[in-house]
Structure 1
Amino acid sequence: MELSNWAPEHSDALREFIAKGMTFSEAARAINSRFNTSYSRSAALGRARRLGLGPDDRQQPSMPTKPAELHEIAEPRPSDFRTLALPWPTPVFKEIKPVKLRCVAIEPRHLSLIELERGDCRYPYGGDEEGEAITFCGHPRRPGSSYCTPHFHLSRDPIVPAERAVSTVSLLVVEVA
């Protein structure tokens, strides 16, 4: 039994129109005018596929019977392998020494995020390896910072600009009359 909202006579008319070489939109219009229905082109196309009629050969190009081999598609030619002459010499890369990281001579308390109190240093440790837990310093922090004093200085630029020199210029006080 067919489960469809197409009446059998509508399906028979579709078979007939497709056999005559009509397009699916023409077949849908002819069925709609004959049976006073409102089938769309897509509905006629879907019904034809379910009936095994398939799209007509004029609308869809045929597929090749066997897939092409890779060397048949694109055979490399000697002209494809041109060398590009650069106007500058190729740079020679030297081995770079790893950067030595600065360390702080302080033993962290390794507190978890939940264990941190309001005034504790939040400098993180760990988390470098996959699945490694991240802990925090936990020492009393510096006023106005999230870190303790050693970690505060560690997180700043190591090259601190010199303090401004105090000028020795003397001021001349002038009495205005």
Structure 2
Amino acid sequence: MESTNWPPEHSAALRELRVRGMSYGMIAATINARFNTAYTRSAALSRGQRMGLGCFDRPEPSLPALPDRPESPIPALRPSIDRTREVRPDARIEVLRWPKFFFGKTDLPELRCAGVSPRHLSLVELGPRDCRYPYGGDGENEPITFCGHRRRPGSSYCAPHFRLSRNPELSAKPVLSAGWLQAVGAD
């Protein structure tokens, strides 16, 4: 990070160039060329602001303004004042504006459970071959324990918890298609 204390000759050059009406980007480039420094536009702007030179008044643009467009020979189409426009409310806005309340009974899906009696091991007590299916931790300060039964090969869970955590229909499908494997040359 560069020091915020500029040498007096750099500050004098900044003041002189700013009085001439140069932009801070041009001032930084001029000072860098004159004193072999590496000030950025932002550094020159900040220093000018600290010196009270002003930073928000920009010089007039060097390009003249574009001339006004000639009027089109075709008259602009204006909507008729006599006819009214049909306004239809957007259905999406209505949904967002007026939430619907359902007071009927909703059937909850049947929860699946694994027919396993967990050993409730802590994380420290778990061995490398123990099931890591978590239990607890729902309430405040409730400890989280783990199943602890022997895990299924290739999984972090025992067989019942593995079946519980997977959708059986999706688990049967191969993850990578034969076409994809062939495309990457892994067949």
Name the structure with the higher helix share. 2
Q: TM-score, normalised by structure 1?
A: 0.43
